[in-house]
């Protein structure tokens, strides 16, 4: 079953990434190896550090099986 998450701030996005990584049983080191993103940077992303590029999020999402969907509100 697919879960839908409405992300309204960076802290919620970071929480989603950390939770999904743990659900998959993946360490930050494993995720680093899959994405090419250094582990210290992944740690910063999971803590909600500002300034993370969208490309970084997309690489993490791809590795974690997360689809990014933009939905226009009515």
Domain boundaries, the chain: 10-64
Q: What homologous superfamily does CATH list for 10-64?
A: lambda repressor-like DNA-binding domains (1.10.260.40)
Say if pTM beats, i.e. exceeds, 0.85.
yes
HSE, side-chain direction, 13 A CA sphere, residue 51: 3
Q: Could you list the pLDDT tens digit for every one of the 74 residues in the chain?
A: 577 778 888 889 999 999 999 999 999 999 999 999 999 999 999 999 889 999 999 999 999 999 988 889 88
Contact indicator for 59, 21 with CB cutoff of 8 Å: no
φ, ψ (nearest 5 deg) of residue 70: -100, 130
């Amino acid at each position: 079953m697919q879960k839908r998450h409405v992300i309204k701030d960076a802290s919620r996005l970071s929480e989603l990434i950390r939770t999904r990584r743990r659900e998959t049983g993946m360490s930050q080191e494993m995720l680093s190896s899959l994405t090419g993103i250094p582990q210290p940077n992944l740690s910063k992303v999971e803590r909600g550090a500002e300034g993370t590029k969208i490309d970084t999020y997309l690489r993490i999402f791809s590795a974690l099986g997360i689809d990014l969907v933009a939905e226009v509100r009515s």
